[in-house]
Amino acid sequence: MAIEKKLEAEQQSEQMKFVLNKETQEADRKRIEAQGIADFQKIVTTGLTDSFLRWKGIEATSKLADSQNSKVVVIGSGKDGLPIILGGNN
């Protein structure tokens, strides 16, 4: 009986070591993933200037205006100065 309990305790100990090792590896993987995302965001953020975003807005507005789904384009004078497109087929 004592030998069985000892074997069971050893198996539980090994199982716990396995689980802890697996969780540590998963935590390391998540840290690496998070660092990759942070690096990506830092790279992208440095390239996102107001001029670039305005240009992309103009491109998007042009595509929307050419779309058959667009009905009305209202030229806006908001803080970004981009047009507002209203209407469309849903």
Classify residue 88 by its DSSP letter.
Answer: -
More confident residue, 84 or 15: 15
From CA 10, how far away is CA 16, in angstroms rounded?
A: 10
Instruction: For residues 65-81, give the mean pLDDT.
Output: 65
Encoded tokens for 87: 């209407």
Virtual torsion, Cα 61, 63, 69, 74, nearest 10 deg = 20
Q: Based on the domain organization, do 11 and 25 belong to the same domain?
A: yes
How many independent structural domains does the chain possess?
2
Q: Based on the domain organization, do 1 and 42 belong to the same domain?
A: yes
Q: Based on the domain organization, do 17 and 41 belong to the same domain?
A: yes
Q: Based on the domain organization, do 1 and 43 belong to the same domain?
A: yes
Q: Based on the domain organization, do 61 and 90 belong to the same domain?
A: yes
List pLDDT tens digits, range 3-49: 999 999 999 999 999 999 999 999 999 999 999 999 999 988 888 88
From CA 8, how far away is CA 2, in angstroms rounded?
A: 10
Q: Based on the domain organization, do 41 and 55 belong to the same domain?
A: no
Residue 79's domain comprises 50-90
**86 beta partners:** 72
pTM above 0.85, yes or no: no
Q: Based on the domain organization, do 4 and 40 belong to the same domain?
A: yes
Q: What are phi and psi of 73, to 5 degrees?
A: -115, 120
Q: Based on the domain organization, do 3 and 43 belong to the same domain?
A: yes
